Amino acid sequence: MTIYLTGADRNAARRFRHQVRRRAFLLASALLRFTLSEVLGRPPGRITLERRPQRRPRVVSPRWAGQVALSVTHTDRWVLVGVLPGRARLGVDLEPTDRQPAEKLAEKLPWPDASRGSKLLQRWTLVEAALKAQGRGLTGLSGLELIGGRQEAWRFESEGWRILSAPLKGLAGYPREVGAVAVACEMS
Ligand SMILES: CC(C)(COP(=O)(O)OP(=O)(O)OC[C@H]1O[C@@H](n2cnc3c(N)ncnc32)[C@H](O)[C@@H]1OP(=O)(O)O)[C@@H](O)C(=O)NCCC(=O)NCCS
């Protein structure tokens, strides 16, 4: 029998009080193990994942797998995980269209012009994906600089990282969700 969830995953999931959130965490763990086992050629239950609060997920063992970037996002209806082999880092973000960032956060988005509604939410996901790829999460918002780009993809820089973030166009058939995927490379 193939094991996609370990005792450690179940223990870690206990920190979530709400069942929907707990299940999303477990599903993300199983999806990460499934994909990592394909990429690393290891049984999914033999891969040690670290999933700490406010940190990006990472592979702890096998050690040589340290250069696989992982990212996770959830809404009430979706769980999306990303696995990217190599030295670059990955960030994914999804938001339901009935959410909006708080005004104070929206003001800190790095575009020179203000935005509202669906455009604001798309920008928000582009930034969240970028900050997840960089690894700082929301605490990195004030240090994120917009370098250029247009609707298809945007370029950011932050604390020695060059980040490319693009809207998830594949979600076009799912009008209740907006998303983005970002890849960060360390500047040499
Ligand atoms: C935690 C944060 C990275 C993203 O939170 P979020 O958008 O609410 O939630 P998501 O489902 O998209 O992402 C959560 C996942 O991000 C990952 N994550 C957490 N901190 C991270 C970090 N510093 N770097 C990269 N990934 C991180 C974790 O895998 C987490 O999943 P887990 O808790 O099940 O382990 C952070 O940026 C945050 O708190 N954002 C505020 C959310 C907000 O105000 N949203 C407004 C809605 S429009």
- Give the chain's domains with CATH numbers: 1-67 (no CATH), 88-188 (3.90.470)
What is the percent of the chain where pLDDT is above 90?
86
Flag whether pLDDT at 175 surpasses 80. Answer: no
Given a contact cutoff of 8 angstroms between Cβ atoms, the answer to whether 118 and 167 are in contact is no
Q: What is the model's pLDDT at position 76?
A: 87
Handedness of CA 79, 80, 86, 87 (dihedral sign): negative
Pocket of ligand 1 (CB under 6 A): 25, 28, 51, 54-57, 72-74, 93, 95, 99-101, 124, 128, 131-132, 135-138
Across the range 152-163, mean pLDDT stands at 96
Across the range 93-112, mean pLDDT stands at 95
What is the percent of the chain where pLDDT is above 70?
98
Q: Which residues partner with 177 through β-bridges?
A: 96
Torsion of CA 74, 76, 78, 83, to 10 degrees: 10
Q: What is the model's pLDDT at position 58?
A: 94
- Residue 110 neighbours by CB distance under 10 Å: 19
Flag whether pLDDT at 3 surpasses 80. Answer: yes
| Residue 167 DSSP one-character state | E
Spatial distance between the Cα atoms of 87 and 133, rounded to a whole number of angstroms: 12
Give the distance between the most distant pair of CA atoms in the chain.
Answer: 54
pTM of this prediction?
0.95
Atom index in ligand 1 nearest the CA of residue 128 equals 37
Spatial distance between the Cα atoms of 127 and 141, rounded to a whole number of angstroms: 8
Spatial distance between the Cα atoms of 94 and 185, rounded to a whole number of angstroms: 22
What is the CA(72)–ligand 1 centre distance, in A?
Answer: 8
Q: Place 172 in a pLDDT band, splitting at 50, 70 and 90.
A: low
Of the candidates 50, 55, 54, 53, the residue with the CA atom closest to the CA atom of residue 29:
50
Of the candidates 64, 94, 96, the residue with the CA atom closest to the CA atom of residue 82:
94
Structure tokens at 103: 């005004």
Q: Place 142 in a pLDDT band, splitting at 50, 70 and 90.
A: very high
